[in-house]
Amino acid sequence: MTFDTKYAIGYDLNDEMSQISFCSLKNPEPETFSLVVGEQKYMIPTNLCKKREVNQWFFGEDAKKVMSHDEGILIDHLIKKARSGESVLIEDDEYDPVTLLALFVKRTLNLLAPSINLEAIETLMITVDLLDAVMLKILETVVDELSIARDKIYFQSYEESIYYYILHQPTELWKYRVMVFDYAGPCLKSFGFHMNEKTKPIVAFMDQESFTDIKQPAEMCCDSEGKIDMEYVDEMLLKAMHHCIDRYNISSVYLIGDGFAGDYLKKTLKYLCTGRRVFQGKNLYTKGACYSAMEKLVPNTYSQTHIFLGRDKIKVNLGIKVWQAGEERYAALVDAGVSWYEVKEQFDFILGGDPVIPIIITPLDGKDVQVKEIELLGLPLRPAKATRLSLRISFKSERIIVIRIQDMGFGEMYSSTGKVWDEEIEI
């Protein structure tokens, strides 16, 4: 297998509809899988259907077809069910909802088989709306069921997928602030992408806002006869756009979701298209995930000059002071810009003198540096430089550092006590 046949996959896993994009070094522009060749039918319903009285499972559009003949039992909202953790009852049998979600992901990835060699998948990036500790645990279980090696699979949030998508567009489209409006879910959401070019590296941010009063048109303003007042929807959207845009210089606007379909947004579109580039589509998240997956193979130039500080990102540098060649030096433990859930670092070092470990917390601007000292109470009294310690760092969230320090002794001279010190630091 030559290197340019290796594929990067971007998988948008959504509770309603999922999408998959793929690219390779030979064809680096992401292509979104379509259920119908030659059409832009990207949406795969996130569901499963078990045929009655037999162990036969269907998913997506096929599940809908089975249900239309009343031959099966539909299981939808797979992510919501997985997050609840409650067993799913199907014909008197209980099923683990995470296992059902894993089955869906596995089956949908097999849809790519006619287009690419599945054994040539080198990176898979799964993107979801909310990537919290619960969702992370679910995804870790899901990917264990896949035939792709675990070290080739990554996760990221929608906002980070937006970042990668935008960064791969022509620079004039993100010279200033970029707005993304998602009207696919139960309510309108906005993402505001902007950068601070005065820093090195350049720091990119994403502001997110939900408009809970702007639901899908059919749910928001039906009259007694079920007729939708589309002019009212247009007015509500226009008001939201003014709120998000009027204060800023906007380079481009992206509209996502079926809520923007149709020709009823006359006032909203007129306002948006005045002095701005406006794009409408449905596969921004999956393409952004695909770009991100490809960067795991070949980093883009902007990866060296830009850093994204979304909600999932660590916004400080962590380090300690060490003695090396007779001099005190700073040793980096964790760099800002990495996702909190990816941090699983371990360092072994020799304790110099006092049984105190100072963790140095440095914001990106270098100001207001903090030092959090971890006192190793109960550590046996030994000569200086005669204690080896193992330090492990992970995160509970983007703001909570989890540190574990273990006494490893010192060779045959001093055996390990096995003593462990656990500390949580909020930043």
Domain ranges for the chain: 3-155, 161-308, 316-426
**Residue 71 class from Cβ within 10 Å (0-12 exposed, 13-18 middle, 19+ buried)?**
middle
The domain over range 316-426 is classified in CATH as 1.10.3190.10? no
Instruction: Please report, in tens digits, the pLDDT of each residue of the chain (427 residues total).
Output: 344 589 999 999 999 999 999 999 889 999 999 998 888 899 999 999 999 988 899 999 999 999 888 889 999 999 999 999 999 999 889 999 999 999 999 999 999 999 899 999 999 999 999 999 899 999 999 999 999 999 999 999 999 999 999 999 999 999 999 999 999 989 999 999 999 998 888 999 999 999 999 999 888 766 666 677 888 999 999 999 999 999 999 999 999 999 998 888 999 999 999 989 999 999 999 999 999 999 999 888 888 899 999 999 999 999 998 876 667 788 899 999 999 998 999 998 888 778 999 999 998 877 889 999 999 999 988 888 888 999 999 999 999 999 999 999 888 888 888 899 999 999 8
Q: Which residues pair with 144 in a beta bridge?
A: none
Q: Which residues pair with 18 in a beta bridge?
A: 44
SS (H, E, C) 192-219: EEEEECCCCCEEEEEEEEEEEEEECHHH
Q: Which residues pair with 186 in a beta bridge?
A: none
H/E run at residue 256 = strand 250-256
- Cβ atoms of 333 and 316 closer than 8 Å: no
The domain over range 161-308 is classified in CATH as 3.20.20? no
Helix ranges (DSSP H) in 49-120: 60-68, 78-84, 97-109
Instruction: Tell me whether the CATH fold assigned to 3-155 matches the one assigned to 161-308.
Output: yes
Token duo for residue 56: 């036969």
Q: Report how far residue 20's alpha carbon sits from residue 46's, in angstroms, rounded to the nearest whole number.
A: 12
Q: Which CATH code is given to the segment(s) 3-155?
A: 3.30.420.40
Tell me the angle at which helices 97-109 and 133-143 cross, rounded to the nearest 10 degrees: 60
Q: What is the DSSP letter of 257?
A: S
Token duo for residue 123: 């990176």
- Cβ atoms of 239 and 271 closer than 8 Å: no
Nearest to 125 by CA among 4, 3, 296, 281: 296
